[in-house]
Chain A
């Protein structure tokens, strides 16, 4: 029982950053914009969250900083791909490359007296046990978490409701499926795409903040370790649905938990081989999901994903 509880607890903490960023990317992609800059936004979110929290001594200031930085980077992506009509794949890659470089640069310079951030201990979000609920066997692990985890529970519910049950959610989905039709109905395609790209960036930034403020508190280079790319795969796994994103994120969190347990138990399997697990799992899951979707002929992807919209031109 204790074993299950600890696996579940670690899965949830490890999966939280993924849920934030995946729901963000689901919103972005639902509007028809593919944002491959998630990895860059998460790592910039992580470094700016830690730096801001360290200097202000407030973890919340870190979350705000990460949200701002993520949103700003997403705004850049939106401007380049929507207004300047740049290639979406390459622009996202460029944002990730620039973000990774900038994060490593800032990590060397944002510490006290222009020194490095590596090795510093900053404020972090403590675990808050919810009375009674946290005493339930196994499931209690859900209710002995930090505040960002509790917020992600709310986010999942709100995001699902918003997407399927509200008018703006309907507009968002229609822009991703058929921008021409949405435009004719008076929905601003550019405005919608800008809005949800920025929302996606904000959530990716907060996801990064959870890594440096709670999951592995502190800053080390390459802290995200490709989580931003796993997020892109999770969106496909989740078939662009926020609830299913949670299942995927827990699966990856669970892999992290198993890695932890094995390492703690003093296994003879070398760490570098254990660390491959999430990446191998990503490929396997992606292949299975794509294969199954191909069989059922049901396309989960928004029809206009990755296609620039241009009023005057027909594509």
Chain B
């Protein structure tokens, strides 16, 4: 037995040092873990990470040539992740475990495409202008995402049905429904058998800034601002935080938990729906394979790493999308599975979760008096 033991003691104030060191060390440890994994399969970890970095942000030589393709791709991926990250963070703030951002995103994408594909012929009096259509699709996506989130919210609020399972099952249902639409019901008859819907009209596309980077980035940042205002500056945000910290106390203080579950899930689902909106109107321009690629789950990691702070969500999303873009690049250039970046994401979160204890507690070493000595000479006892 060791002559001493360790004990966690609760800190009165969270440690500032630890709150900086823990994420940094977690990142390092996760990359070390990834390096070990790469070494086991016979890849050179140093080279792989270098290739990932070059894939994510480009190389100095490319920058001198004025090529910023990689960086714009990184931001393209960051847009839906910011939105799902915000979606998850508002729900998690009141400890409502919305794992369904993926499905809400898909529903938002379906609604966006539905407006663009069917409104022009069904409602010909609507002017075929981006100024009309983009707001219409925007609202449709929010409504669809919110509606998909509302069902688990109502089940939780009124019947106390476990939301982790309902939101998760709704992901599978939404994804399968999406598959049914683009492979069967809405499949483009002129698509040469290729599974996908028809292209949406060009006036319904969000314009691009550079490369594939589009104005949806601005939308994502605006969404972060809105969430920040709601959470930090309004009474509603205060109620949400109160429920998250102590639901019983909030209830006694007259905060309606049922009402907040419903409203927060409408907000959360709407934000995830917007992620589907940007992916369809700015990137794919049709329903096809590859809308549900896990942004909803990345959003969970983002939200937690950002400590549920909206501006933190923006920063962490950009970092994690660098990881994703880098992962895709090493698949192309080095023939390594892109899932390396998924493993790294998960590992970072696990290390942060484990390390977080040091921000809330301090580790104390407690010396034990050697028992044998105590038995022989009772006078050694100090205190």
Interface residues of A (CB under 8 A from B): 36, 76, 79-80, 84-87, 89-91, 93-95, 97-102, 104-105, 108-109, 114, 225-226, 229, 232-233, 236, 270, 272-273, 275-276, 279-280, 282-283, 286-287, 290-291, 294, 312-313
Contact call B173/A94, Cβ cutoff below 8 A: no
Contact call B180/A102, Cβ cutoff below 8 A: no
- A residues within 8 A CB of B315? none
Interface hits, B307-359 → A, CB 8 Å: 337, 339-343, 345-347, 349-350, 353-357
- B residues within 8 A CB of A236? 162, 165
By size class, the interface of chain B is 35 or more
Contact call A101/B342, Cβ cutoff below 8 A: yes
A101: nearest chain-B partner, CB-CB? B342
Partner of B350, one of A76, A85, A104, A226: A76
User: What's the nearest-Cβ distance from chain A to residue B118, in Å?
Assistant: 20
- A residues within 8 A CB of B148? none
Q: List 19 A-B contacts (CB under 8 A).
A: A80-B350, A80-B353, A84-B353, A84-B354, A85-B8, A86-B354, A86-B356, A90-B353, A94-B353, A98-B345, A99-B346, A100-B346, A105-B339, A105-B343, A114-B41, A272-B180, A272-B183, A276-B173, A280-B173
Partner of B164, one of A36, A76, A86, A91: A36
Contact call A279/B343, Cβ cutoff below 8 A: no
Contact call A282/B183, Cβ cutoff below 8 A: no
Q: Is B284 an interface residue (CB 8 A)?
A: no
* A-B residue pairs, 5 tightest by C-beta: A98-B346, A101-B342, A108-B337, A86-B353, A105-B339
User: What's the nearest-Cβ distance from chain A to residue B81, in Å?
Assistant: 14
- A residues within 8 A CB of B172? 225-226, 276, 279
B175: nearest chain-A partner, CB-CB? A272
Contact call B342/A105, Cβ cutoff below 8 A: yes
Contact call B337/A84, Cβ cutoff below 8 A: no
Q: Is B290 an interface residue (CB 8 A)?
A: no
- B residues within 8 A CB of A87? 353
- A residues within 8 A CB of B297? 97
- A residues within 8 A CB of B39? none
User: What's the nearest-Cβ distance from chain A to residue B161, in Å?
Assistant: 5
Besides A91-B353, A108-B337, A232-B165, 12 new A-B residue pairs in contact (Cβ under 8 A), listed by A number: A94-B353, A98-B347, A101-B339, A104-B339, A109-B41, A109-B337, A226-B168, A232-B164, A236-B165, A273-B180, A291-B159, A294-B160
Q: Given that A270-B180, A291-B159 are contacting pairs, would A89 and B164 also be in contact in the complex, using a CB cutoff of 8 Å?
A: yes
Contact call A290/B160, Cβ cutoff below 8 A: yes
Contact call B165/A282, Cβ cutoff below 8 A: yes
User: What's the nearest-Cβ distance from chain A to residue B14, in Å?
Assistant: 14
Q: Is B10 an interface residue (CB 8 A)?
A: yes
User: What's the nearest-Cβ distance from chain B to residue A241, in Å?
Assistant: 17
User: What's the nearest-Cβ distance from chain A to residue B98, in Å?
Assistant: 11
Q: Given that A98-B343, A105-B342, A272-B183 are contacting pairs, would A286 and B354 also be in contact in the complex, using a CB cutoff of 8 Å?
A: no
User: What's the nearest-Cβ distance from chain B to residue A74, in Å?
Assistant: 13
- B residues within 8 A CB of A93? 99, 300
- B residues within 8 A CB of A312? 10
Q: How far is the CA of A94 from the CA of B298 in the complex (A)?
A: 10
- A residues within 8 A CB of B168? 226, 229
Q: How far is the CA of A80 from the CA of B300 in the complex (A)?
A: 18
Contact call B350/A95, Cβ cutoff below 8 A: yes
In the complex, per-residue mask of B146-176: 1 if CB is within 8 Å of any chain A CB, else 0: 0000000001000111101110111011001
B357: nearest chain-A partner, CB-CB? A84
A97: nearest chain-B partner, CB-CB? B346
- B residues within 8 A CB of A270? 180, 183-184
- B residues within 8 A CB of A90? 300, 304, 349, 353
- A residues within 8 A CB of B304? 90
B151: nearest chain-A partner, CB-CB? A283
User: What's the nearest-Cβ distance from chain B to residue A159, in Å?
Assistant: 22
User: What's the nearest-Cβ distance from chain A to residue B227, in Å?
Assistant: 19
- A residues within 8 A CB of B342? 97-98, 100-102, 104-105
Contact call A273/B176, Cβ cutoff below 8 A: yes
Contact call A233/B165, Cβ cutoff below 8 A: yes
- A residues within 8 A CB of B160? 290, 294
Contact call A287/B346, Cβ cutoff below 8 A: no
Interface hits, B271-292 → A, CB 8 Å: none
Q: How far is the CA of A37 from the CA of B17 in the complex (A)?
A: 30
User: What's the nearest-Cβ distance from chain A to residue B316, in Å?
Assistant: 14
Contact call B357/A85, Cβ cutoff below 8 A: yes
User: What's the nearest-Cβ distance from chain A to residue B177, in Å?
Assistant: 7
Partner of B354, one of A80, A89, A287: A80
- B residues within 8 A CB of A294? 159-160
Q: Given that A229-B168, A270-B184, A287-B159 are contacting pairs, would A108 and B339 also be in contact in the complex, using a CB cutoff of 8 Å?
A: yes
Q: Is B54 an interface residue (CB 8 A)?
A: no
